[in-house]
Structure 1
């Protein structure tokens, strides 16, 4: 009987140990991170961790620019992480019954470039969030320099920022509010993201902004974007975007059905990698885990967010450098599923 009880206790302790490990996000020693930053010529780096559904760590290392130390509340340009905010906004509206994933958007907005193409009547929010619009990333990249359907919406996969801006225009027309007003009401205010901005409007603290640098550590000139973009250029801090990640995991304002649609693979990219709605979904990870992934990479910046809904964990990484190797290295070093994820790229 004693042996039986002892065996049961050991089994329970082992299970608890495994559970605890699954809840942990391992951040390497600061000296190691600084060494990698120096090696890759990354001036500034921010790291946020989510464990058990709570923001457990916010740290910022390095400099905003030469000779200026980066503070705890450094403001980073996080490029395409903006798409996660737009996605969350749309899903909150869907959850409230004010918006539909599958209603054609032409009822609210038609871009002048595609008004004579009948395929514009097929385009939906689902197509946009799962990157199946038929658009290139940006219209200036197309040979016509115009927004163009290269295939019917929903039939193929192609990453597109233009789609998110199309959705932004439709939302603005439907609700008769600016994208900024919608984000303030549904995301920034309820999630307490008080240091997050779509543009360089009044309130952005330039003395805390991490100036972008190229891959060898040379700074770019500051570009103060004045126009809201639903796919790019979000200005935020590690703490603010950490709060965002916590709220995504907690499904705040998003009902169960909308969340299931978000995390369900909608557009297969390769084995174990697909677009959900607004996120890249890595499924079949160790410990029956799956990951929601989004990355941002523009001139002078690199950023990433990884959320693990099964274990309520996450990592947020932001750099004022276009040296993307630093954020990928941090994913591998901090998450037990990180190496498996990176092998799939």
Structure 2
């Protein structure tokens, strides 16, 4: 941690399908020196994608969404381009990253979302696709992302310290992000979601509607007010101030490890969990392309090892948070490493290598 200027780290280990060990290290903020503890909230970044995928698969088991129906039948956001490939994109494409959509548009306030290639023909890691699927889920459930998550996953799983949005309690317990060790600068770097949420919270308080209840339409309505509060250019489109399934998940390390246990093989599953067949599909390669070194399941990366397949995902936001989670579903074991430093990947790679013996391709988003 000292070598790579990473102030805070939290690690949790799953063995035999249970969270058996977790430990915090360091501080939440390099200047205030507040210690990381068991209830510290980390910004998980793209580790939110597999969690959202689990929710989608719960809805698949409930027969309210079909992985192979074009997504436009559920919802067509007004920022989609008029393009024939748009009509072909399905939820399966989204979860296996074969939509052909870019990761994020450069100027979402003015730029239409256009596929780069025909869906299903190559891997293009896309946060935009995940966000579109989130909007479809909002339409299907009639709830905000966080409301659905709390009802279907976080509540039943006992993940009491998890949210895709923001409130005063989360603000007090959340880590701050720090620059990479090779990118020194004066003061703290911009905090992205923390700053966006701070402005949006003022509008939410005036409305009497918590951010956790906001859907995309609420963000559209709030945008002019939030833009008036924020510095110019800081907030530019509704996606900046609403829960984002691709990037805004916050959890304790214990909660994320609890989520890992839901992906493990076991004899019995609770009625609210995804079915065994669906769990296996989540961890089955969904697209095979020549020359690729990893496979895509539904929300997870899959990699073959000498001990059998493992599933994993990394997470990075704003070059100030770096996280990693991996699991071996058959051996019912896994590890989560959350950090609040832009060089956190140098830390989590070493931890995962030492703990598991695997040197995974953690940058293969």
TM-score (normalizing by structure 2): 0.78
What are the superposed Cα offsets for residues 242-297 of structure 1, whole Å, 9 maximum, x if unpaired? 111112225651112222221111234655411111110012x123x211111001
C-alpha deviation, 1:207, in angstroms: 3.2
Q: Secondary structure at the match of 2:2?
A: helix
Superposed, 1:194-343 pairs within 5 Å as: 194-204=160-170, 206-216=171-181, 219-223=188-192, 224=194, 225=197, 226-249=241-264, 253-268=273-288, 270-283=291-304, 285-287=305-307, 289-299=308-318, 300-323=320-343, 324-336=345-357, 338-339=358-359, 341-342=360-361
The aligned counterpart of 1:131 is 97
The 10-residue stretch of structure 1 (150-159 or 163-172) with the greater mean CA deviation from structure 2: 150-159
Aligned residues between the structures: 303
Preserved CA contact (<8 Å) 2:64 2:140: no
Bigger radius of gyration: 1
Preserved CA contact (<8 Å) 1:110 1:120: no
Preserved CA contact (<8 Å) 2:263 2:329: no
TM-score (normalizing by structure 1): 0.82
Corresponding position: 1:179 with 2:200: no
Aligned-CA RMSD value: 2.1
Q: Secondary structure at the match of 1:181?
A: helix
Query: CA 1:39/1:344 → structure 2, altered by over 3 Å: closer, same or farther?
Result: closer
Preserved CA contact (<8 Å) 1:78 1:236: yes
C-alpha deviation, 1:68, in angstroms: 1.8
Preserved CA contact (<8 Å) 1:211 1:220: no
The aligned counterpart of 2:224 is none
Task: Tell me how far apart the structure 2 counterparts of residues 272 and 308 of structure 1 sit (CA, whole Å).
Answer: 18
Preserved CA contact (<8 Å) 1:47 1:316: yes
The 10-residue stretch of structure 1 (214-223 or 51-60) with the greater mean CA deviation from structure 2: 214-223
Task: Tell me how far apart the structure 1 counterparts of residues 363 and 91 of structure 2 sit (CA, whole Å).
Answer: 27
The aligned counterpart of 1:42 is 6
Q: Which has the higher helix share?
A: 1
Query: CA 1:239/1:343 → structure 2, altered by over 3 Å: closer, same or farther?
Result: closer
What are the superposed Cα offsets for residues 220-249 of structure 1, whole Å, 9 maximum, x if unpaired? 244423410010021110111111111222
Segments of structure 2 that go 5 or more residues without pairing to the other structure are 198-240
